[in-house]
Chain A
Amino acid sequence: MSPKMPDGRTMRDGQPVSARLNNVVTTEREFDELVTKSLPELLDRATSQTKRFLRETNQWGDDITHEKLALRWGYELVERFVVFGRTEVPCRPFFLLDSLIAKSFSQPDPLCYHKELLTPVGRFLDGLASRAVVSRDALIALFYHFYGFSQAHVVKLLGFGQAESQRVYKNFERWRQSGWQRTMNETGLSGSEIEILEQELRTRPDHLNNEVDRLMPVLQSHYRKSEPEHYPCLSEQKWGQLFHDDYGHDYRVWHLAFCRDCFLEVADRRHAEVSNGLKPQVNLHIHPLKKGGVLALFGGDRGGRHHGNTRAQRLSRTSA
């Protein structure tokens, strides 16, 4: 029977778990067992290195928001380490984690760090956009959270056919069931913070939407680099041609979700097919679209926005 350490952590071969992370692991099974037991050590190591990076790049503030940011990045690094590490045995787990972290932070502009993104609304937007880079569910949901577009409107806006429409509906469903909550949890937004955001959206919708409108270019310019390099912003004419000739479906989703200007241009161009004729605008939604909810798309013209009580989100039950 393995002896117990004072903190309850098991020992094997007379060594604590953290010491074994410095030794060579020779098989995938051994790697999985060791990593499963030492997740706290790995997370703390990745977090402390993220803090060091933030300090050295003068991006650190001694507050809980920065601590959460470092934890979030440490978590993402450890998640990759757990999966990639199995392919690197034999290896020394701590050394491998350090090299993975160093490689990540040596990328150009690895963190989306902006002081104004540390507010609750900034963190909410950052969490959504960051998740959308790796999750198609979150990507499709951006159209709702940023502009209030429902599944049907997304399908019409993007000009999708039957098969792609079904995928969009599936994306919305999965996002509603688990994706949104997981994203909020992993972003570090507590229930009370989300409540405060909801409250502010009810009382001062124009203020919050203006804030979102201001922060969106900062976010999108960082996360838009996740699309292939040959996907630049298109001219109005080329957008028209793309929809007319019916190609570049993947590009439509990725670029329009991450580029406000192109989205507004395309939505404006296609508003006859998509909406009731009013122009699209930024229209923040905190929670995911409820099941069966249908939204009236655009509330007010772009010159004089009307959110809040006059905001044209009208939910109606159309299906079970």
Chain B
Amino acid sequence: METPELNDYRAHLLDALDDQPRRAAEERPGFLQVLVNHERIGTLNCAQTDPSFAYTARERSIQHLELRSESGALIGGCVAPEAGQKSVRVPVGKGSLTLHVQNHFDGGSLRVQYEVAPGWWSQLATAIGLPAGAAVASTQASPVWSMTTAFAQVVLAVGVVALLAERIPVWIGSEDRAHQLEEELAARQSTQDQIDQVHRQLAQLVESQAAATAVSRTEQDRIAQLNTLIDTVAHTQQRLNAQVVAVQEDLKTVKTDVAQEVQTGMRVAASAVEADRELVRQDLQAVKSVNETLVKQVALLESRNRELHARLALTSLEVAKANASSKPAVVAKNEPPKETPAPTAVAVSDNLREADRQAFMFWVAFQDGTTEKSIEDLVQELNGIKKGPMKSGWYSVEVNLPNPEPPDRFLESVKRAKIVKSVVTSKAMPPAQ
């Protein structure tokens, strides 16, 4: 969005930013506001004898430190690391502020100290080698101008004396020349002494200047070394950055290769799975066709089975007919013939089943020495009929069991008889002894 009002506002802010260093430089150190993490935590009065300010934060570390004048102008500040320390020196007026921040992860401490810049006289005194206390004392006792004034007075006095020496003989005349010469000589002597003294002072000053120059050179050398060191660090940082970029590019390449390999593998695996799926589909079709064949065969077999069942039924009927025709002949040999209706094949089989259900035949062996009478009594007691003669010690007996009574219970009761030795139910033939 571009409007004249917005452009004016932007231009004004740029002017204010441009003007900021000048405003900060114009501020005279007085009450300085200390702001930590954009919160005001106190003031530093630079007019005190030992202007310093200390603060301890307990919950958050000191990340932003600002020093502002009372009018709000930003004088100095720094951004401190979340853990660790930082020291900064900020020039303010003729002095400087030393900021020291010590941070740990859950708090930090801050110390701000204002130092007034020392005067040139005390710097000179320090260079000469006078003790700092003496320098301060002399600074206080004899101000800067006092030395300059004294020197100027001496030079002025010498000039005046020289002029007088030149003019006074002309004014006074030759009579007093001898006296004047004496005075002149004395004055010259005095002047010479003063000039010698000034020379000595100048020599001292030259020595001091030489010492100061030497110190300055040493400092310049140190600064040059520091600059070299900083350049080295900067180059190292650049190299590191280049290496980081190279490593990042390598990582990108590796990522691309890995992605391609993964895609190829995926493609191969997918094709293999597809082939397997095709094989399984073919197998399923083969199984399906086999299954259909089997179903047809089963159906064929079932139809044959039905035919066989039908044939079996016919065969059974024929067998039943054959049995029916042969059985009366056998019975006729042992018993009088019974009147039986001419049965059909189905009726015969039904009657046989009915006889099985109602008549129960078993074989019984008796204890040795059992009389025939006792045997007859038992058979009668059982309401049974002896079927045929004894074979190998076994009598076949047929009884009509009442329907609810199971044969096993009946046989158990027969076994309990004292004369009974053993009981079996095999119908085919009497068991061999």
Contacts and interface: CB of A to CB of B under 8 A. Distances in A.
B66 A80 contact: yes
Nearest to B233: A90
B71 A87 contact: no
A107 B77 contact: no
A250 B43 contact: yes
Nearest to B35: A134
Given A64-B1, A71-B6, A71-B13, A226 B72 contact: no
B396 interface: no
Contacts of B366: none
Interface stretch (B15-23, B212-220, B384-392, B411-419): B15-23
Contacts of B14: 39-40, 43
B17 A225 contact: no
B20 to A, nearest CB: 6
A167 interface: yes
Interface stretch (A183-191, A200-208, A240-248, A274-282): A183-191
B12 interface: yes
Interface string A305-318: 00000000000000
A64 B5 contact: yes
Interface in A133-149: 133-138
A179 interface: yes
A83 B76 contact: yes
A287 B78 CA distance: 34
A207 B238 CA distance: 62
Contact of B10 (A27, A43, A80, A107): A43
Interface string A43-81: 100000000000000000011100110011011001110
B352 to A, nearest CB: 101
Chain A binding surface SS class? helix
Interface in B219-244: 227, 230-231, 233-234, 237-238
A36 B18 CA distance: 7
Nearest to A132: B72
Nearest to A140: B70
B33 interface: yes
B72 A138 contact: yes
A226 B17 contact: no
A103 interface: yes
Nearest to B55: A228
Contacts of B10: 43, 71
B1 A62 contact: yes
Contacts of B12: 185-186
A137 B38 contact: no
Interface residues on A, range: 35 or more
A227 B1 contact: no
Given A133-B40, A186-B16, A188-B9, A80 B74 contact: yes
Interface residues on B, range: 35 or more
A137 B16 CA distance: 18
A254 interface: yes
Contacts of A179: 71-72
Contact of B6 (A64, A170, A182): A64
Contacts, number: 131
B42 A250 contact: yes
B63 interface: yes
Contacts of B234: 24, 26, 90
Contact of A67 (B1, B24, B37): B1
B185 interface: no
A174 interface: yes
B41 A84 contact: no
Nearest to B67: A83
A192 B311 CA distance: 123
Contact of B13 (A36, A64, A186): A186
Contact of B63 (A83, A103, A134, A170): A103
Contact of A254 (B8, B40, B86): B40
B41 A228 contact: yes
B68 A134 contact: yes
Interface in B134-162: none
A271 interface: no
A78 B78 contact: no
Interface string B35-70: 101111111000000000000000000011010101
Nearest to A89: B230
Contacts of B63: 103
A220 interface: no
Given A64-B1, A137-B72, A167-B31, A39 B18 contact: yes
Nearest to B87: A87
A171 interface: yes
Contacts of A34: none
B79 interface: yes
Contacts of B233: 90
B3 interface: yes
A88 B79 contact: yes
Contacts of A63: 1
A182 B5 CA distance: 17
B70 A135 contact: yes
Nearest to B99: A87
18 contacts: A39-B17, A43-B17, A75-B17, A79-B20, A80-B77, A82-B21, A83-B74, A87-B88, A90-B233, A134-B40, A134-B66, A174-B71, A190-B5, A190-B8, A225-B39, A227-B40, A228-B40, A250-B42
Given A134-B74, A174-B71, A179-B71, 17 more contacts: A40-B14, A64-B6, A72-B13, A80-B66, A80-B77, A83-B24, A84-B77, A87-B78, A87-B79, A87-B86, A133-B38, A136-B31, A136-B71, A170-B70, A190-B5, A250-B43, A254-B40
